[in-house]
Structure 1
Amino acid sequence: MSKRVIDKIDALIFEDEFPIYVNRVTESFTQLEHTHDFYEMTYVAEGRGTHYINGQAVPVSRGDLFWIPLGVSHVFRPAGASSRESLIVYNCIFQEEAMSMAEQAHTSSLFTFYRQLSGWRGIRAVDHAFASLFEALHREYTGSLDFGRLTVQCNWLMLLIQFKRALEQPSASAMQGVATTFDSMLLEIRNHPERDHTAEKAARSLQLGVRQLQRLFRERMDMGFKSYLQDVRIQQCCELLRTTELTVTEIHQAVGYQDAKHFHALFKRKTGKTPGAYRRSVRM
C-alpha cells in the first residue's frame, strides 16, 4: 500500500487530527485481511468466530482482547452468515502521535512497554472486565459530551494500563503469536487450501489419532477439522472473487472443490450470498 493511500485512509479515520479512533462493528466475510500503520486494540463484544492474525487462526468469543502492532495482518470472520452468529467487535486504534502527546514522566514506562512489545498479544478476559472500558470509550468518542476527547484519552490510558497488567499476571490466559506444530499445520492448510487435506492426514502429521485431533480442534478452534477447512477455502474464494477475473468454476476448483453444486450451497451458507452476488457486492 502506497504512502499516499495510507495518508488518505488516516485522514478519513482520524478526525480533526485527533490520533485516537473508536468504533463498534459487526464483522462479515467482505472485510479483507489487512495491515495498517497504526496500533490497534480490539475487543470481542458479542458472538464468536475466528481471528486470522499473522498466519494463525485464533477462535474468538466474547471477552477476547487483542493488541495488534504495526504491520501485522489480520481479519475477523464470524462463525457463520446468519444473524444468530453475528460477531461484534470494538476497535480502538491510535497513532504513535497519541503516545507522544500523552507521554510524561509517569507514562514513559507504559509506552516503552508497548513500543517494545514484539508481535501481537491476546488475552481471554473471562470476567469481561474490559467490556465497560470499551463501552465508555465508544460512548465518549461518538457522543457530544463536554470534555469527550479528554475522557477518551483517559479511558484509552486505562485500557493500556489494564492490558499490560493482565499480560504480566502469572495466571493470565494469554494468547501469543508463537508458532507451534499445530499452528504450523493450520498455516499449511491456509497456504495450500487446494490440497487433499483430511483429518486422517492431519492427525498423522501431528502423531495423533483422529479422535485426538478432533478434540484438539474443538479445544483450540471451537470447531471440527472439516469446518475449519471449509472456512479457509471459502475465505480464499472470497479473496479470489474480489481480486481476480477468474470464473466461479475456476475459483472453486482452485481451492479444492470439484463439485459445483456442493460449493455453491456451502458458499451461500457461509457468507449469506451466492459467489456472483458476493463478487458484485465487493466491487460496487
Structure 2
Amino acid sequence: MHFLFEPVRFDDKHQSWSGRTRSDKDYPGFYHWHQCTEILFVHQGVGYIIVNQRTYELRPGMLFVFQPFQLHKIFADVAQDKPFERTILYVDPSQTEAALRPFPKRHALFHKLWKDQGIRTVFDMQEETGRLEAIFESYGLLDARRREYDQEETTLLLLQLMGSIASVRDEKEMQSSVHSLERKPRYSEQMMQWIEAHYAEEVTLEKLAEQLHLSKYYISRVFHEETGSQITEYLTARRIKQACRLLQTTVYSVERIGMDVGYPNVSYFINMFKRVVGTTPLKYRQRHMGL
C-alpha cells in the first residue's frame, strides 16, 4: 500500500515550488494528504483526480487547490507521447494569509480556499492558460536564479494566482462549470460518500452493494475502473487519515482511536497503521504532536 500523510518540509521557508515537473512513465498515484495548502496546475496530461469524494478530470488547464489534510489521489494515464506535466506550489496557509492581508479581495478568496469546506477548489483555467504559463515561467526563472526564499516574489505569485481564479470563478460560477459540478455522482463517488459517513463502522461489500442496489462483484469492478484503486485501499486511507488527526489533536488511547476509526482489534489497528504510515501510532503521535 502507498497512501499516507506526506509532510511538506519548508525549513526556513513558507513555500515549496516544483515547476513543470514531467512524468512519462507509469503514474498510478496514491491516496495522501499534506499539512499545508497545495496548488496544482496541469500543463499536460490526462487522467483524473479524486478529492472530497468526487472524481475530476485531469487535463491541460485544470487547477486544483488541496486544503490541509484533505485526502486526494492523482492518477495520470501517461506514456512517452502523452506525459503528465504539472506545476505544484505548496504554501504555509497561515503565513500566506498574513502576507495577503493588505489585499482584501485576494485575501478573502485565499482564506476561503484554505478553510471553507463548501467552496469549490477545482477550476477549469483554459481561458487563463496563457497568463498562467507566463506567471509560472517568470517565477520559475526567479527561483532558478536566486535559490533562496523571497516572500515578496511568492506573495506576488499568489496574488496573480488568486486574480486568475477570481476571474474564472466570477465568470463561470453560475454557468456551465456549476452544471458540471451538479451532475449525478458516479458509482465510485457514491461509494466514497457512503464510506465517509460509515467508515467507523464495519464496512463490507455486501453493505455497499445493498446501498447502491448493485452486485458486490460489479461495485468492486466499477470502483477500480473509475478510481484506479480498490475499495479497501480507499477505506483504509480514510480510516488512517482520521486516526492521524485524532493522534495529533486528542489524548485518546491508541485502543480508543482504533475503535473510533473502525478497527476494534487494537493489534490489527497498530499493524495496519504501521503498514500504511511506516511507524506505530504512538511514535507517530510523539513525532507529530507539534504539527
The superposition leaves residues 162-214 of structure 1 with CA deviations (integer Å, 9 ceiling, x where unpaired) of 21222111476636996643x1523246676993338xxxxxxxxxxxxxxxx
1:89 is matched with 86
The AA in structure 1 aligned to 2:225 is: Q
1:186 is matched with 188
Give distance in 2, aligned partners of 1:51 and 1:196. Answer: 24
Report the alpha carbon displacement of residue 120 of structure 1 after superposing the two structures with TM: 4.0
* TM-score computed with the length of structure 1 as normaliser: 0.57
The AA in structure 1 aligned to 2:81 is: R
Identical residues among aligned pairs (%): 10
1:143 is matched with 145
The AA in structure 1 aligned to 2:177 is: A
List gaps (5 residues or longer) in structure 2: 196-204, 210-214, 238-277, 279-291
| CA pair 50-162 structure 1, distance change in 2 beyond 3 A | same
The AA in structure 2 aligned to 1:107 is: F
**Matched residue count:** 205
* TM-score computed with the length of structure 2 as normaliser: 0.56
Instruction: Please give the residue correspondences for 1:1-284 in structure 2 after superposition, counting only pairs within 5 Å.
Output: 9-10=7-8, 12=9, 14-15=10-11, 17-24=12-19, 25-26=21-22, 29=27, 31-80=29-78, 82-104=79-101, 106-116=102-112, 117=116, 118-127=118-127, 128=129, 129-144=131-146, 149-170=151-172, 174=177, 180-181=183-184, 183-188=185-190, 195-197=216-218, 229-230=224-225, 232=227, 234-236=228-230, 239=233
| CA pair 102-172 structure 1, distance change in 2 beyond 3 A | farther
Give distance in 1, aligned partners of 2:93 and 2:148. Answer: 25
Report the alpha carbon displacement of residue 237 of structure 1 after superposing the two structures with TM: 8.7
The AA in structure 2 aligned to 1:166 is: V
Contact 1:53–1:75, Cα closer than 8 Å, also in 2: yes
Contact 2:49–2:56, Cα closer than 8 Å, also in 1: yes
The root-mean-square deviation of aligned C-alpha atoms, in Å, is 4.0
Contact 2:37–2:91, Cα closer than 8 Å, also in 1: yes
Report the alpha carbon displacement of residue 64 of structure 1 after superposing the two structures with TM: 0.7
Give distance in 1, aligned partners of 2:126 and 2:137. Answer: 17
List gaps (5 residues or longer) in structure 1: 199-224, 244-282
Contact 1:68–1:120, Cα closer than 8 Å, also in 2: no
Give distance in 2, aligned partners of 1:18 and 1:65. Answer: 23
Give distance in 1, aligned partners of 2:71 and 2:7. Answer: 16
